[in-house]
Amino acid sequence: MYDFEIPTDHNPAVQFSLDDRRPRTLSEIVGQEHIVPRLSQAAKNGSLGRRQALVGPTGSGKTTIAQAIARTFFCSRSRELGDACGTCKICLLTSLSNLGSYHEWTGAELNEQWGWWAENGSCILERSTYCFFLDEAQDLSDLHQKALFRQLERARAMVIFATTHENLVNDALLGRFGANKFYVRRPTLAQAVDCMERHCLKLGVVATRDQLAAIAGHFKENLRLCVDFVFSAKDQTPDGLVSDEFVKAVTGVEISSAVPSVRARISL
């Protein structure tokens, strides 16, 4: 559907970054059952809105959802699947930032680069094949929020906002997103443990559900931290075998004392 230049130096086989720890498609997203089916159906209907706002606490997965929406927007099979396919050249990119038509900024970064954005932003936003993702939108200054509000009036690009503090984003600016405002929540403990187990299987890490539940509880179901733990376990344990001592060394959590309380919160 779209024409893209894939950078010639890109080789997914040898690149490995934090982004590889994130789900890439809508169907892989954990704990957002109130959001994903709506987005997926919209993609199938060919009416994935050009404005998407994601509101939720740190570590709830806003960035992951935003990037999955962007992949769905770019992937040529999304209408057929209601999701990004996960296997085409676009979907396999380690980072969407390798695409010239994808722009990801934080509010603070955009403040710093406002001179450049004031000159180029409107032109970027007018292109219907472009995607602009503004993370931590609440950090954009009030003056710049007002300017962005005006720019969005004529925008044809896919625009995704994410914020931890909805109350710090200009009402009129947020109003541009209409009904496409989604409240992202942390997954449940059971969902976090299931997700960690899948990563353990993929990486050859061996840990008990008691250990994973204690860790997920310690990290308050912040999936990014939970998944990072599994990667650390792969790198730092003999043969990927997670001991209670390792859990304690990384998190300070004593498994024997944590298990009764996590058992009360999850069926293990």
Judged by the rule CB under 5 A, the positions of this chain that interact with Zn ion are 75, 84-85, 88, 91
Min dist. Cβ of residue 221 to Zn ion (A): 29
Which amino acid is residue 250, in one-letter code?
V
87-95 contact pairs (CB < 8 A, 24+) = 89/4, 89/6, 90/4, 90/6, 91/24, 91/25, 92/12, 93/6, 93/10, 93/12, 94/10, 94/12, 94/15, 94/16, 94/17, 94/19, 94/20, 95/17, 95/19
Cβ at position 161, least distance to Zn ion in Å: 24
Q: Which amino acid is at 2?
A: Y
Among residues 75 and 159, whose Cβ is nearest to Zn ion? Answer: 75
Rounded Cα distance between 129 and 123, Å, is 12
Nearer to Zn ion, 89 or 220 (CB): 89
Residue 90 or 259: the one with the smaller Cβ distance to Zn ion is 90
- Whole-number minimum distance, CB 94 to Zn ion, in Å? 14
Measure Cα distances from 130 to 42, 50, 109 in Å: 18, 10, 19
Of the pair 34, 89, the CB lying nearest Zn ion is at 89
- Rank residues 78 and 145 by Cβ distance to Zn ion and give the closer one: 78
CB distance 110 to 120 below 8 Å: no
The dihedrals phi and psi of 225, each to the nearest 5 degrees, come to: -70, -40
Q: In the bound complex, what is the minimum distance in angstroms from residue 187's beta carbon to Zn ion?
A: 25
3-state secondary structure of 257: helix
CB of 129 to Zn ion, least distance (A): 15
Cβ nearer to Zn ion, comparing 91 with 247: 91
CB of 85 to Zn ion, least distance (A): 3
